[in-house]
Amino acid sequence: MNQIRNNAINNEIQENLLKWFDKNKRDLPWRKTKDPYKIWISEIMLQQTRVDTVIQYYQRFVKRFPAVKELAEADEQDVLKHWQGLGYYSRVRNLHKGAKMILKQYHGIFPDTMEEIKKIPGIGPYTAGAVLSIAFNQPYPAVDGNVLRVFSRIMDIHEDIAQASTVKLIQEKVKELIPQGRASDFTEALMELGALLCIPANPLCLACPLYEQCEARARGVQNDLPVKTKKQKPKKMHMVFCVVKKGEEILMIKNPANGLLGGLWSFPGKEAGEKQDEEAVNQILEELKLNAIDIKKIGTARHIFTHMDWDMHIYQCAVKNKEKIDEEHLWITKEEFGDYPIPKVYQKVCKLILNSNNMDN
């Protein structure tokens, strides 16, 4: 009896959700294609970044790198430049590595099995499920934060969604529900419901196609779900940076490939104790083997990463001799900032320089 009732509810969930999606889905650029390469790009961009922001980046990226081959053969600096502003740069470095692997091992043709796809750098269970279901219409679940929220409400699940066991439980529930032949729409419909109606605070239950089937709504506890342990606050750090000038040119440093913001350009700097800016500036210059004069503070900025909260103190100085010209060091004018991949955190320093009237030696 229970099984019959469950089957009936499952059918209602599938039908109501798909009908709602067919009528209400947003017109998003990655929904105009079934190309697994483009779905892959969109899904990686959509991790941690809002749809509104992703649209422009996606269009520019797939225009410049329309297929695996173009991305695989591109210069890393060019790839990073097209990601600049999206953050989480390890994602794009993995995309680049993944494209190289697909070109080499699969002649540029995106693989279509779970076994092969999950070997591609940066592709975990979520992205694998999203590409297999959306591009290839295969019945794999793609469970991200939105889907965890939607399902914890539909099923009235009160276990912490930060725990692997809860994610697994929900992945199984989603898999069980994927309708025959409509995996692609079902995956996108769940994401769409999470984005448009089953939103984190004050979900729009009255407009929801799953109003009748939602157990949390029936009990009036939809606002208490999902249960999620709080993330740790980003660590506060006092950071000192040097804008080193030689005439019109400014010294930029390329971050090591595997570290924070790897491959992107930064200003020399380091963490310092509060009230130890002077020592920090001297250490930075010493490490660069530069003798600087006219050291003065030009401003402050703040940047919050996932795990760090930088209180940035920015100094300017002048040097007579330009040393340090190699792959990792570069002297550029402020007009050339736009030619290099510079992450948001250092764009804040660029802005300060561009707005500063006293940058002349």
- The residues that are catalytic are 43
In 3D space, the residue among 305, 151, 301 whose CA is nearest the CA of residue 231 turns out to be 305
41-100: which residues touch ligand ADE (CB under 6 A)?
42-43, 46, 51
Cis peptide leading into 179, omega within 30 of 0?
Answer: no
DSSP 285-320: HHHTT--EEEEEEEEEEEEE-SSEEEEEEEEEEEES
Pairing of the two strands 269-271 and 308-319: unpaired
**Smallest gap from residue 126 Cβ to ligand ADE (A):** 9
Distance CA 316, CA 359 (A): 8
Q: Are 138 and 175 in contact (CB under 8 A)?
A: no
Q: Considering only residues 9, 195, 205, 295, which one is a binding residue for ligand ADE as defined by CB under 6 A?
A: 195
**Smallest gap from residue 275 Cβ to ligand ADE (A):** 45
Q: Among residues 185 and 188, whose Cβ is nearest to ligand ADE?
A: 188
Q: Are 36 and 135 in contact (CB under 8 A)?
A: yes
Q: Among residues 9 and 18, whose Cβ is nearest to ligand ADE?
A: 18
In 3D space, the residue among 261, 270, 257 whose CA is nearest the CA of residue 327 turns out to be 257
Q: Among residues 67 and 195, whose Cβ is nearest to ligand ADE?
A: 195
Residues in the chain: 361
Q: Among residues 51 and 359, whose Cβ is nearest to ligand ADE?
A: 51
Extract the tokens encoding 22: 């067919």
286-345: which residues touch ligand ADE (CB under 6 A)?
none
**Smallest gap from residue 46 Cβ to ligand ADE (A):** 4
Q: Among residues 188 and 277, whose Cβ is nearest to ligand ADE?
A: 188
**Smallest gap from residue 352 Cβ to ligand ADE (A):** 34
Query: Under the criterion CB under 6 A, does residue 185 sit at the interface with ligand ADE?
Result: no
Q: Among residues 10 and 47, whose Cβ is nearest to ligand ADE?
A: 47
DSSP 108-144: TPPP-SHHHHTTSTT--HHHHHHHHHHTT--------
Amino acid symbol at 89 = Y
In 3D space, the residue among 213, 188, 217, 218 whose CA is nearest the CA of residue 202 turns out to be 217
Q: Considering only residues 44, 154, 157, 191, which one is a binding residue for ligand ADE as defined by CB under 6 A?
A: 191
Q: Are 244 and 334 in contact (CB under 8 A)?
A: no
Number of residues that bind ligand ADE (CB under 6 A): 9
Contact partners, residue 348, CB within 8 Å, separation at least 6: 301, 303, 312
Cα separation values, 223 from 144, 152, 217, 230, 336, Å: 19, 11, 9, 16, 50
**Smallest gap from residue 44 Cβ to ligand ADE (A):** 10
Piece in contact with ligand ADE (CB under 6 A), picked from 13-21, 38-46, 75-83, 258-266:
38-46
Q: Considering only residues 80, 103, 171, 188, which one is a binding residue for ligand ADE as defined by CB under 6 A?
A: 188
User: Site mask, ligand ADE, residues 137-166, x = CB under 6 A?
Assistant: -------x----------------------
Piece in contact with ligand ADE (CB under 6 A), picked from 78-86, 187-195, 228-236, 260-268:
187-195
Chain residues that interact with ligand ADE, rule: CB under 6 A: 28, 42-43, 46, 51, 144, 188, 191, 195
